[in-house]
Structure 1
């Protein structure tokens, strides 16, 4: 039977607990723990979106759609009433012998102070929270981290500091490189970072915001504490919009917010979304590959970015991992393959285990781009003599397409594109999409993290950011330095190595693979407007610079080509 607080029987609930921090400040937390006395492993997450608004109120449309499509989320042992955005569902964890601690980061929700996202101070706060959770009388001393997006990105950060009580982590769709994964993919400013996210999700949840529409699901009071004046609110938050907009190059601001992944030692399960290019994909792949952990797993899925996190199969996966590493349960997890991939097909998908990433049996296949708009997958040969094709950067695009495939072709892994480019202006933004079309010419798209229709793969590069970090670049995954602008001389030809974020797709016989190159964001069939992760900020992309004519040089001394990870069947 529900308790007075609306928390089910068997769960002891402590609201707005103060957790002390090393500098004398404190943050506020909610603690959900088993009613039976004992010491339990602790799951911790801290975030800026408020620990107290119910997901069904704060994100009403998204939650209603989720429940309608997947009613199991409120039927299989949970009412869903305890879920806050991107935090775990306590009803699915506490009855299984876990304590759940949800925390408002400093300056957000109930936690007073100055909000500076992803900053070293916020990360040090997280260390203090983990150590507090690991030393309470109800704690076994083993702390796990789990959460989605921001609540995953900050896991990479704090794990690199090696808090003594941290024992395992599940970063679910969370970036690990603030510049490349979040604010400036390919060096191009993402609209989400300075505008949509900051206004719609951060300021509305700032501590002291008396105008917040959100109410505590337990007390019905505002979720942001006592109201402060607009002037004080402005003083209490970092000017993040201008930080991103006026820091177009990677540098100290981003470096101190991007962890040294090699320092991470704890076991981890990294969950990436194939449909999350631009925010919820690359970081989880890179985090898995570069983390120093001896025990690490990569898990991929697709669809709306928070759905699989709460679905029964996702919770069961998470629980098996934590049962093994936090509770010492011999459940066979240590025998699981380190790479567990969702292999997508036009109308279905299947899960497959692999030994490593990229897949060791990958056949790296170069497909040449030709002047007659072919993507030559069969011979990989370019035109013998250099040719050129051009497009207006703001209104046009070019698409290169294979012949109908003679047999099924699986593309799973990182994708790289080499383009030889010139422009009529001093710079050019390249937006590239890896696509597939059926025998009737209809494009295959998938439901993505933020869009109802996404192509197989996406990539971005600002031509003036073409400089590579040679030490970290790989033939199939270029890594750009983003530490200086190298303007183009109009009319001169430059080589661009473009990272297309990892993907998985099996194209059936008779289908065609395609590559579209444009100077603006990909638009799915029938799209009626920009998406939340678009890149069209007029300050970052003035038409005088990015609205020229872009020319691709193909063949001869300019062998523009697409490098695809073709996966043969296991023998």
Structure 2
């Protein structure tokens, strides 16, 4: 049994068995006509040469009982997290090679349903040669063209390829579309990154250093064949990155690892960056956008490939990535937003009856790829293209657009008197106080099991979720509605139009949407953040992509320092969500100036933040409510 302990150390993304829904017309429920035709697979591992002589390590799986002359499509997983691992003796007699459990389950699943599968180490990672000057580099993406070209020429290939993955491989799944290879027909992108700056590294302009440090340390060690990030016991089980079949003595593997020494230290680079247009030290002619999906929309559009996006309400800010990607392209597309953390493994709604993820991702991927790679008319592109989950109501819903067509914005005004702070819906009731004063508490935090910690297993110090926030709420400036007279479902992007001042030239602003029970229990719903000096907005026509809410460049030239104590208008949107506020409960908006667990403070620190409430400088929140 000890051999299976390696799972705890080598699992980057778990995808636990899912409980299927009862409704046969529901996404995630599908019976493929090819299921169980193929019981076992053949495996081979080898190097593919690129035009610049860099060798990429690939693992290829084929159905073992494939008939002569039969042609099948292939699913491509393009990763920088090591395609497979060689265990020490005697464990490799049980599992050889070792593949992260969730991915291995998917490989076997696709083989059973008549697909080939290829797992590739991107250049400068795993057993592949080359070096990485940046994640998602143009060289890395271009390599994908030649990998797919090789696949399409094989005697068993039907000439059609689909890409898939979670997080980093989910992002490469979409980036490979930029090559416009005619064989690449569809991409299933789970928890992928549309905008590296705004959606993961600098949400709202706030540097997410703890995540970048953990992720950077993990990937750098992995590139050097060091598995210590998985714990001290990992080395008892792991021998090394898996060499290819013809490299039994790992001579080529060690040569590849030597080239990895030239990989860029991502954490050091990002510590020297603050603005979207800052240049990395290795190339002063480019900016971070050069490595983001958002920078390649015309090329992705030209591919004509179908794209399926999946994200969750506890998936960092990557629900924004899913929405922006879906809205910005005319490719055949679908989107699912669920009550999930990064990796979409379990139902994390605070009101769930079970942790089981009531959605079978494997079956939904198969439904998608069967249609686009095998031509099976299963109706997936005839149904509404958006499927989302409403928490507390605990219900899946269809939509034809995002935000859903049945939502409308309701305006809630902030007011305060000497004892209470309120938000009032559609009210012109004047505020007794012209501003609310908040002494910023720099110990305020959202917890080590927050949406941000879910972005990688090694950053997840506690199970994903938000316990009762009563203690934390006392550190914040909060405004409550009256008890609701009926249930209200908020779906989409909450917008805020505030007037704020501080006693310094800059500060962070973090806004939480919460629900308050009659007994005082506080449920986290969603949040948004903004570095106040980067508040400047621009017209949507300035940008190549589409999003709900407000557009910002985060450019250095658009930085506007505050004049201490002078009110400025702040427009911001929160990360999308769908949540039912229950009758009798209160809606709460909480304001913070710090999240000690996740974002760097601005120096010098502001002492006080003022939310202005008078007629001249009003503040309001707009909630997207379902009819």
Range class of TM-score, shorter chain: 0.7 to 0.9
Other-structure match for 2:168: 150
1:44 aligns with 2:80: no
Q: Equivalents in 2 of 1:88, 1:177: separation in Å? A: 30
Q: Secondary structure at the match of 1:244?
A: helix
Other-structure match for 2:140: 122
Of 466, 491, 497 in structure 1, the residue corresponding to residue 571 of structure 2 is 497
Q: Secondary structure at the match of 1:333?
A: coil
1:305 aligns with 2:377: no
Other-structure match for 2:263: 237
1:415 aligns with 2:490: no
Q: Secondary structure at the match of 2:490?
A: strand
Other-structure match for 2:361: 314
Q: Equivalents in 2 of 1:551, 1:45: separation in Å? A: 49
1:281 aligns with 2:319: yes
Other-structure match for 1:266: 305
Is the Cα contact below 8 Å between 1:175 and 1:281 reproduced in 2?
Answer: no
CA apart distance, 1:136:
2.1
Which shifted more, 460-469 or 307-316?
307-316
Q: Secondary structure at the match of 1:545?
A: coil
CA apart distance, 1:212:
8.1
Other-structure match for 2:408: 363
Q: Equivalents in 1 of 2:547, 2:264: separation in Å? A: 38
Other-structure match for 1:482: 554
Q: Secondary structure at the match of 2:288?
A: helix
Structure 2 stretches lacking a partner, 5+ long: 1-37, 88-96, 244-249, 278-285, 347-356, 444-474
Which shifted more, 90-99 or 231-240?
231-240
Q: Equivalents in 1 of 2:143, 2:113: separation in Å? A: 28
Is the Cα contact below 8 Å between 1:110 and 1:207 reproduced in 2?
Answer: no
189 and 54 in structure 1: CA distance in 2 versus 1, 3 angstrom threshold: farther
1:135 aligns with 2:164: no
Q: Secondary structure at the match of 2:588?
A: strand
Other-structure match for 2:482: 403
Is the Cα contact below 8 Å between 1:404 and 1:510 reproduced in 2?
Answer: yes
1:434 aligns with 2:513: yes
Is the Cα contact below 8 Å between 2:85 and 2:98 reproduced in 1?
Answer: no
Of 96, 99, 110 in structure 2, the residue corresponding to residue 93 of structure 1 is 110
Q: Secondary structure at the match of 1:164?
A: coil
Q: Secondary structure at the match of 2:81?
A: coil
Q: Equivalents in 1 of 2:264, 2:100: separation in Å? A: 28
Task: Give CA-to-partner distance per residue, 1:300-358, whole Å, 9 cap, x none.
Answer: 1123422449987211111111111111001111222111111111xx51111111111
1:257 aligns with 2:288: no
Q: Equivalents in 1 of 2:312, 2:143: separation in Å? A: 28
Other-structure match for 1:567: 626
CA apart distance, 1:391:
1.8
1:469 aligns with 2:538: yes
The total of aligned residue pairs comes to 507
Q: Equivalents in 1 of 2:380, 2:548: separation in Å? A: 31
Is the Cα contact below 8 Å between 1:54 and 1:83 reproduced in 2?
Answer: no
Is the Cα contact below 8 Å between 1:428 and 1:519 reproduced in 2?
Answer: yes
1:424 aligns with 2:503: yes
119 and 382 in structure 1: CA distance in 2 versus 1, 3 angstrom threshold: farther
1:391 aligns with 2:438: yes
Other-structure match for 1:162: 180
Is the Cα contact below 8 Å between 1:414 and 1:477 reproduced in 2?
Answer: yes
145 and 216 in structure 1: CA distance in 2 versus 1, 3 angstrom threshold: farther
Other-structure match for 1:206: 223
Which shifted more, 114-123 or 406-415?
114-123
Q: Equivalents in 1 of 2:298, 2:585: separation in Å? A: 41
Q: Secondary structure at the match of 2:291?
A: coil
